[in-house]
Structure 1
Amino acid sequence: MKPLFFKFFITFCVLLSFAGCKQERQAIAQPQASQILIDSTLHPADSIDAFIQPYRSRLNAVLDAPLSYAPKHITKTEGQWNTPMGNLMADLLLDRANAVARIRGEQIVDMALFNFGGIRSSISKGPVSERTAYEIMPFENGLIVVGMPGRAVKKMVGFLTTASRPHPVSGIEIILRADGSLKSARIQGQPIDDERIYYVATSDYLMGGGDRMDFFADRVSISDTGYKIRNAMVDYFKTIDTLKAETDNRFIQLDTL
């Protein structure tokens, strides 16, 4: 009898524990939402503002620390085929890409190409800081070097000569006749050789065909510098005491045929 009694007793305890664990069905409450208008009537919370103030102060100190100096206002609106701001951007990309190539022992970069629309601000006269770089280049695009045969570079030249905007270049000289046809194109002072591989510093956005620059599809190599273009700008500013940016003869149109 005792073994049977113990079996019933254990079974009763197990059933009782299951009954105690049973939960009532929960009803889902009707969700509620409201809009909070963010304008001048919304006041910041003092506790949150006090919490982030040290971080804000440190960030502003870093962003506004002078790196270089601009003796005059530098914009991309002066010039038909090349502009001061565009020339500065293309020159610094070529400079930084070659700095990386020298460290790595890689092929020296021949030229640089950027896009007019990628320049989102000008540089005001006065101190140039890291904040300046963020204003000019708010995107996360990277600086890469693309290896291209000369015939693909000639397609690039054709694109540039018919573009409606002065896309920045460096390391290349393009001369148009008065009627807009191409008179000559030279890279580092030499005519473009169809079979030679040229190394072009540009952004990963353009390399992927951005701004209709499809000629990059004919590339034979890609080398990532590890630089965000914005960071390349900051490092360049640190190496230059006074920025020099002018329109010049790198891309011009003659008055006569």
Structure 2
Amino acid sequence: MRITYLFILLNIFVFSSCKEQNLHLSKIEGKQIAITDSIENNTEIEAYIKPFRDRIENDLDSVLAYSVDTYTKKDGEYNTAIGNFMADAVYSESNPIFKSRTGHDIDMVLLNHGGIRSILSKGNVSKRTAFGLMPFENSIVVVALKGEQMNAMIDYLSQGKRAHPVSNLKLKIDKNSKVIEAKVNGKPIEKENTYYVATNDYLYNGGDNMSFFKTNDSLYVLNYKIRTALIDKFIKLDTINPVIDDRFTQIK
């Protein structure tokens, strides 16, 4: 009887030991490791990556064009030379892509003043210049808007009174920010018309409170970065000499 009882206990122990256990994570600990100049460089790694780094540096610094002056986003109240250049570059470089895919032309371009991240210095212009102006990975998209949404855009620009870069838009406001004139491609905005507006993915997704982009007929993703458009424009130009003009003005 004692032997049978002992055998039963052994079986219970074996089967309970073999039973799959459910493990649960109860605690996570992290530790911050500071990377400082006290950490010695690995000479083998440095030697390996040096040719690649040198090639990239040379590519970034190769001269593409020449800027006749220094331009900043602060050089105008409602439009700036550098903002005008960037908006016009987006139009000229992305319109052929859009037209080849859709058969339509881009009607206008709207970017954001805050998206200009550096000055355009007088002197040689390179790919590094483009990375300074647009360090973000923002891509160009084209949004199809009806006249109602276009009017919402005009209200946004007239009330915001910032030098957001635009192309193919003529906007004039009075001293009270009331719209006197608003034309796209030289024509007044028609309520029932569809307008193809090039912008960037950040603004399309509501950046800078540009909510009017979300009510649209269609969205076209060009897979073409603003920075790449700038580089392509630099390559085509020998001399860069943008100006402040009358595309967005206030009558005082």
Q: Report TM bin, short chain.
A: 0.7 to 0.9
Written as runs of structure 1 = structure 2, the 5 A alignment for 1:24-173 is: 37-104=34-101, 106-173=103-170
**Is it true that 1:176 corresponds to 2:173 in the alignment?**
yes
Q: Secondary structure at the match of 1:69?
A: strand
1:133-153 deviations in Å (ceiling 9; x for gaps):
111111111101111011111
Letter of the aligned partner of 1:66 in structure 2? V
Q: Secondary structure at the match of 1:86?
A: helix
Letter of the aligned partner of 2:137 in structure 1? E
Q: How far apart are 1:33 and its partner, in Å?
A: 8.8
Q: How far apart are 1:88 and its partner, in Å?
A: 1.0
**TM-score calculated relative to the size of structure 1:** 0.82
Q: How far apart are 1:103 and its partner, in Å?
A: 3.2
**Is it true that 1:231 corresponds to 2:228 in the alignment?**
yes
Q: Secondary structure at the match of 2:97?
A: helix
Q: How far apart are 1:203 and its partner, in Å?
A: 0.3
C-alpha distance in 2 between matches for 1:145 and 1:233: 17
Query: How many equivalent pairs are there?
Result: 225
C-alpha distance in 1 between matches for 2:58 and 2:110: 32
Looking at CA atoms only, which structure, 1 or 2, has the larger radius of gyration? Answer: 1
Task: Name the counterpart of 2:205.
Answer: 208
Please say which of residues 111-120 and 93-102 is displaced more in the overlay. Answer: 93-102
Letter of the aligned partner of 1:231 in structure 2? T
Q: Secondary structure at the match of 2:89?
A: helix
Please say which of residues 234-243 and 108-117 is displaced more in the overlay. Answer: 234-243
Structure 2: unaligned runs, 5 residues or longer: 1-28
Distance 1:45 1:181, change over 3 A: same
Instruction: Work out whether residues 78 and 161 of structure 2, in 8 Å CA contact, stay in contact via their aligned partners in 1.
Output: no
Distance 1:177 1:35, change over 3 A: closer
Q: How far apart are 1:157 and its partner, in Å?
A: 0.6
1:83-104 deviations in Å (ceiling 9; x for gaps):
1111111111111221213433
C-alpha distance in 2 between matches for 1:201 and 1:34: 45
Please say which of residues 106-115 and 238-247 is displaced more in the overlay. Answer: 238-247
**TM-score calculated relative to the size of structure 2:** 0.84
C-alpha distance in 1 between matches for 2:218 and 2:101: 16
Instruction: Work out whether residues 81 and 242 of structure 2, in 8 Å CA contact, stay in contact via their aligned partners in 1.
Output: yes
Q: Secondary structure at the match of 1:85?
A: helix
Which of 243, 246, 249 does residue 249 from structure 1 map onto?
246
Structure 1: unaligned runs, 5 residues or longer: 1-31
Task: Name the counterpart of 2:183.
Answer: 186
C-alpha distance in 2 between matches for 1:153 and 1:142: 21
Instruction: Work out whether residues 69 and 241 of structure 2, in 8 Å CA contact, stay in contact via their aligned partners in 1.
Output: no
The Cα RMSD (Å) is 1.9
Task: Name the counterpart of 2:193.
Answer: 196
Distance 1:158 1:35, change over 3 A: closer
1:124-178 deviations in Å (ceiling 9; x for gaps):
1111111111111111111011110111111001001111532111100000112
Instruction: Work out whether residues 73 and 125 of structure 1, in 8 Å CA contact, stay in contact via their aligned partners in 2.
Output: yes
Percent identical pairs in the alignment equals 40
Q: How far apart are 1:47 and its partner, in Å?
A: 2.1
Letter of the aligned partner of 1:156 in structure 2? M
C-alpha distance in 2 between matches for 1:35 and 1:91: 46
C-alpha distance in 2 between matches for 1:244 and 1:98: 22
